[in-house]
A and B are shown apart, each in its own frame.
Chain A
Amino acid sequence: GENVEQHPSTLSVQEGDSAVIKCTYSDSASNYFPWYKQELGKGPQLIIDIRSNVGEKKDQRIAVTLNKTAKHFSLHITETQPEDSAVYFCAAPITDSWGKLQFGAGTQVVVTP
């Protein structure tokens, strides 16, 4: 089955700086890689995703890159703001049971003013 590893577990950045979170996956057949943001006491919110047929996707200050050969994908947040403080999770589908997601352990991002 799929194994997703996420690094770092915590990330502290100054407001305005960039944050990068990296994930690796094990199943080469995986074709869809979502990122979720979870604020305290709330459910995970889908913020961006990438399909396996593209290498990069951007949405305003966030971007995701995918390297299928190396089986890793990354979330990039530019010009960080205090409201970006949250836990971020990457995920990948478990391809032997279509639709289930295997999540990384999460990255606690703290943006300090």
Chain B
Amino acid sequence: DTGVSQDPRHKITKRGQNVTFRCDPISEHNRLYWYRQTLGQGPEFLTYFQNEAQLEKSRLLSDRFSAERPKGSFSTLEIQRTEQGDSAMYLCASSLIASTRFYNEQFFGPGTRLTVL
């Protein structure tokens, strides 16, 4: 399978604990996005990377959230001191940005569903 993969698929944690999610993008894709999706809503942008550089962070991304893409391949999203309001589906997407490609097709992974008790 050469699509975007995410791990774990489900995570249940207690309020105050730290959690970390991993995303493996499509291998040649240089851009990686994190989105958050709550029940009944569309995905909301959190942050994105161009190779290893984090280029933008949403206001949704509080100080408790941090994301990395150390080698320009896989990415991790960490949430510290989780709160019940963090419960959501966390989606990763990747795309290939090149001078010859003006349009940005994003391909999503299956998501990590986080439940904070």
**What 1/0 flags go to A89-108 for Cβ under 8 Å of B?**
10101100111111111100
Q: Is B25 an interface residue (CB 8 A)?
A: no
Q: Is B65 an interface residue (CB 8 A)?
A: no
User: Which of B11-19, B35-43, B72-80 binds A?
Assistant: B35-43
Give the chain B neighbours of A46 by CB distance below 8 A: 105-108
Q: Is the CB of B104 within 8 A of A42?
A: no
Q: Which of B104, B108, B110 contacts A36 (CB 8 A)?
A: B108
Q: Is the CB of A98 within 8 A of B42?
A: no
Interface size bracket, B side: 20 to 34
Interface residues of A in 58-113 (CB under 8 A from B): 89, 91, 93-94, 97-106
Q: Is B48 an interface residue (CB 8 A)?
A: yes
A32-B103, A32-B104, A100-B48 given; A106·B42 CB < 8 A: yes
Give the chain A neighbours of B110 by CB distance below 8 A: 41-43
Interface size bracket, A side: 20 to 34
**What 1/0 flags go to B79-117 for Cβ under 8 Å of A?**
000000000000100010100001111111111010000
Q: How far is the CA of A34 from the CA of B107 in the complex (A)?
A: 11
Q: Is A31 an interface residue (CB 8 A)?
A: yes
Q: Is the CB of B111 within 8 A of A105?
A: no
Q: Which of B41, B45, B103 contacts A106 (CB 8 A)?
A: B41
**What 1/0 flags go to A20-39 for Cβ under 8 Å of B?**
00000000000110101000
Q: Is the CB of B105 within 8 A of A99?
A: no
Give the chain A neighbours of B41 by CB distance below 8 A: 105-106
Q: Is the CB of B109 within 8 A of A101?
A: no
25 A-B pairs within 8 Å (CB atoms) are namely A6-B42, A31-B102, A31-B103, A32-B104, A34-B106, A41-B110, A43-B91, A43-B108, A43-B109, A43-B110, A44-B108, A46-B106, A49-B105, A91-B42, A93-B104, A99-B48, A99-B104, A99-B106, A100-B56, A101-B45, A102-B45, A103-B42, A105-B40, A105-B41, A106-B42
- Residues of A near any B CB (own CB < 8 A): 6, 31-32, 34, 36, 41-46, 49, 51, 89, 91, 93-94, 97-106
